[in-house]
Amino acid sequence: MPRKAYDAGVIVDSAIYVDGRRAAEPGSLQETYDACRDQRGIAWIGLYKPSREEFSSVAGEFGLHPLAVEDAVDAHQRPKLERYGETLFVVLRAARYVDETETVEFGELHVFVGDDFVVTVRHGEAPNLGRVRRRLEAEPELLRRGPQAILYAIMDEVVDGYAPVVEGLENDIDEIETEVFSGNTGVSRRIYELSREVIQFQRATKPLAPVLAQLVAGDGGRVADEEVRRGLRDVQDHVIRVTEQVDGFRELLSNILSVNLTLVGVGQNDEVKKISAWAAILFAPTLVAGIYGMNFDHMPELHWILGYPFALTLMVVASVVLYLVFKRRGWL
């Protein structure tokens, strides 16, 4: 089939590995295909946000299933594992904590694993696959175990990247707790934003445990190498631990939001009490003045010489008594 010229930014790295070592660094995809066949090595092609046309060459060379290709190009998939013939298709959601903005950024990685190739399609800044390549090239014994060892190293890198995110979210929750219990009731928006990040993080991590369970179980010969399966079991343990922590974060944020809403309600209720108390205090002298301001000829004490001072005294006494009552009850 005709080969399409790729944008230089699409191909992140392309290499052939023979006996656990980088044997060739082809300058084009066609050279990668030829070197993979000639040297009978493992091709690892890393792509970044390829278009459907740009990915068609790789898909045609390695016989990738159209449904998997569509998922890899369009992205927005949840973590999953699918098998198309002899090719494994794995979707991973990476995450990284950005200290400057105190937010979590998510990336998406699609991995195609065959008998003699690994194709990675990355959407987003995470994970750092360059670090995975350097690690594997420094451990030829692991790289000799084949494409599934590369898949293990990639999944290990993704899951290791969750640890700083967990730490960052934990610090943010601690800060919000301090603000809420110090009387700052205006943090509802921040609680909501953090809850959304935790939910997104939960969606990235929770489906990964069943994916790893399938790989570890070796169902259908997915991972035959016992050493690789041992590494995947370790990754699975880390994922389960992260999932439990994230579940705890979500529950904790829900409780914090409830406490914050309660404090807001209490604050609003206190304001209502204060307004009501002052209204009652001001109503007492207004009532007395209103009664004695009526233009009737026959009213008690109307022509009494002490009527005016008595009325003023009554207004003051009523106001003071009401103030003391409300003060004692905590309304003022």
Q: What is the pLDDT of residues 20-69, one digit of tens each?
A: 787 767 767 777 777 777 777 788 888 888 888 878 888 888 888 888 88
The reported pTM is 0.73
Amino acid at 1: M
User: Where do we find the tokens 């026959």?
Assistant: 298
Q: Find the DSSP H helices in 206-225.
A: 208-217
d(CA 239, CA 204): 10
Amino acid at 235: V
DSSP 4: P
Nearest to residue 60, comparing CAs of 122, 13, 112?
112
d(CA 26, CA 332): 80
d(CA 61, CA 63): 6
d(CA 162, CA 165): 5
Q: What is the pLDDT of residues 252-280, one digit of tens each?
A: 877 777 766 666 555 555 566 676 667 77
pLDDT value at residue 185 = 60
pLDDT value at residue 5 = 44
d(CA 268, CA 277): 14
> Which residues, 6+ apart, have CB-to-CB distance to 80 below 8 Å?
90, 91, 207, 211
Model confidence band, residue 3 (pLDDT cutoffs 50, 70, 90): very low
